[in-house]
Homo-oligomer: A and B are copies of this chain.
Amino acid sequence: MCRLVAVKSTTPIQLAHLLTRPRHSIINQAFDSRLRLDLRRPINGDGFGVGWYDSVEDEELGSQPCIFKSITPAWNNANLTRIAEKIKSPLVFGHVRATTAGSLSQDNCHPWSFGKIMFMHNGGIAEFEKIKRTLQASLTDEIFLVPQGNTDSEWAFALYLSKLPDVHASNFSPEILRKAMLETIAHLNKMARDAGIREPSLLNFIVTDGSTIVASRYVSSRTDEAASLYFSSGTTFNEYAPGGHYRMSKSDKRENIIMIASEPLTFEKADWMEIKTNTLVDEHPPDSNYR
């Protein structure tokens, strides 16, 4: 299982505060996982990726996100440490990978992007090899050629792109992003059913167009739990004690920053709301948009 975090902030936030400095960032959790125990494979050292959007619009720079990936572990990556100190962004994705499928290559690291759309996944598509051809057959030629790697997750991204009415649109409404997510999950379910796959798939996807974040916590089973997913929001996210001790502050009613993450990123559990299994959320608190 991987670890992931998506952050949206009204004020651009320095990546270091999200990724490299907090003791419980997804990167540092990768080797000190007190909050979770994955008995199968507790380490997330199979590469990582960080994606972010510009803090200031600049036509020359374009509207696509910037993505930095590496096949060496995130916790010891000098480039990431330097870049995270220097970049501020209003919308950041971070992903630390533990391979379940696909070899160790940057192509296989999350997130992926296409135009303004950025996507990442925590979980796995059960017996993906049985539906890979069907999934590919459902794609247009253009989308079929998008994936460069060899993971179930990147093909799920391609499937998601194929559910957008116009993948080249300059803007996407929250409704369109949500609808495409629901259709992606529904289509994966249908293909699994048709292929006689009974093992449940874990489909925690997070997608954004740079403005809206949409996330699913989903398992294709009535009895199993989905992979964990948490939500937090507040006025600021800052270090309250030296040594990387961060917390979400709620100094007033304003929700300046929201986080969606595979695990709570602080020790203050009260600040983290577990997203219920089989829920779709966006950057509003999950209560407001159950479906």
Contacts and interface: CB of A to CB of B under 8 A. Distances in A.
Interface in A215-242: none
Contacts of A102: 148
Contact of A69 (B60, B66, B69, B78): B78
Contacts of A106: 78-79, 103-105
B32 A41 contact: yes
A86 B54 contact: yes
Nearest to A83: B66
Interface in A21-64: 30-32, 41-43, 45-46, 54, 58, 60-62, 64
Contact of A31 (B45, B85, B88): B45
A166 B86 CA distance: 25
Given A61-B86, A86-B61, A103 B69 contact: no
Interface string A63-86: 010111111110111110011011
Interface string A131-144: 01100100001001
A269 to B, nearest CB: 21
A229 B85 CA distance: 33
A145 interface: yes
Contacts of A31: 41-43, 45
A14 interface: yes
Contact of A42 (B32, B70, B78, B150): B32
B105 A60 contact: no
Contact of A79 (B45, B68, B78, B107): B68
A286 interface: no
A99 interface: yes
Interface of A: 14, 30-32, 41-43, 45-46, 54, 58, 60-62, 64, 66-73, 75-79, 82-83, 85-86, 88, 99, 102-107, 129, 132-133, 136, 141, 144-145, 147-150
Q: Which 5 A-B pairs have CB atoms at the shortest separation, nearest pair first?
A: A105-B105, A45-B45, A31-B43, A66-B86, A45-B73
27 contacts: A31-B41, A43-B43, A45-B75, A46-B73, A54-B86, A58-B88, A61-B85, A66-B85, A67-B79, A67-B82, A68-B79, A71-B72, A72-B72, A72-B104, A76-B99, A78-B103, A83-B83, A102-B148, A103-B105, A103-B148, A105-B105, A105-B106, A105-B107, A107-B150, A129-B141, A133-B144, A150-B150
